[in-house]
């Protein structure tokens, strides 16, 4: 007679609950990204409160599902870096993001050696946004202020 291991029982329970994925050991990055994206879509579909659009001002909205900035229902063109920064800042409106976190998330491994790149990026974004949306936390980083 074969005895079931705890891990086998847990896996059977997860499959019974119809989960899309289960991590037993390290998996390729691409497969993990795919699984996380599918789970995020499922969460958004089943969430009781949809937060796809965040109102910034009378006619300004950030669509967090599509990572688009809208003014009077028309998309404002953003560079990849601008989109990445806004996506990060809007991912948690109540959070202050450090310069280091921003560099890592927006520039990845090729992030700039000087802070001027981030300051320039924020300056150009502020021209596209309503006043005072991006707040600087002196010596620390940035946050969204609604």
Band the pLDDT of 49: cuts 50, 70, 90: very low
For the stretch 7-45, pLDDT in tens is 666 666 655 565 555 566 677 777 777 777 777 777 666
What is the per-residue DSSP string for 1-31? -PPPPHHHHHHHHHHHTT-S---SS---HHH
Q: Which two tokens stand for residue 34?
A: 């795919």
For the stretch 83-139, pLDDT in tens is 999 988 888 888 888 888 888 888 887 766 667 888 899 999 999 988 888 999 888
Q: pTM to 2 decimals? A: 0.62
Burial profile 27-48: b = 16 or more Cβ within 10 angstroms, e = fewer: eeeeeeeebeeeeeeeeeeeee
Report the candidate in 55, 81, 84 with the shortest Cα–Cα distance to residue 70. 55
Read off the CATH number of the domain in which 90 is found: 1.10.10.10
CA–CA distance, 117 with 16 (Å, rounded to integer): 50
CA–CA distance, 89 with 46 (Å, rounded to integer): 24
**138 falls within a domain:** yes
**16 falls within a domain:** no
| Residue 60, strand partner residues | 71
Residue 105's pLDDT is what? 86
SS3 assignment, position 114:
coil
If one counts the domains in the chain, the total is 1
**74 falls within a domain:** no
Residue 83's domain comprises 79-144
């Amino acid at each position: 007679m074969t005895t079931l291991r705890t891990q086998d029982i847990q896996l059977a329970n997860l499959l019974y609950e119809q989960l899309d994925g289960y991590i037993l050991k390290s998996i390729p990055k691409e497969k993990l990204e795919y699984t996380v994206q599918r789970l995020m879509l499922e969460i958004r579909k089943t969430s009781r409160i949809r937060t796809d659009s965040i109102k910034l001002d009378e006619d300004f909205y950030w669509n967090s599902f599509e990572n688009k900035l809208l003014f009077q229902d028309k998309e404002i063109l953003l560079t990849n870096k601008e989109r990445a920064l806004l996506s990060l800042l809007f991912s948690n409106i109540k959070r202050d993001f450090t310069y280091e976190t921003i560099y890592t998330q927006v520039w990845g491994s090729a992030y700039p050696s000087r802070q001027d790149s981030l300051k320039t990026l924020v300056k150009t974004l502020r021209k596209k946004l309503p006043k005072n949306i991006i707040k600087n936390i002196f010596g620390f980083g940035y946050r969204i202020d609604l």
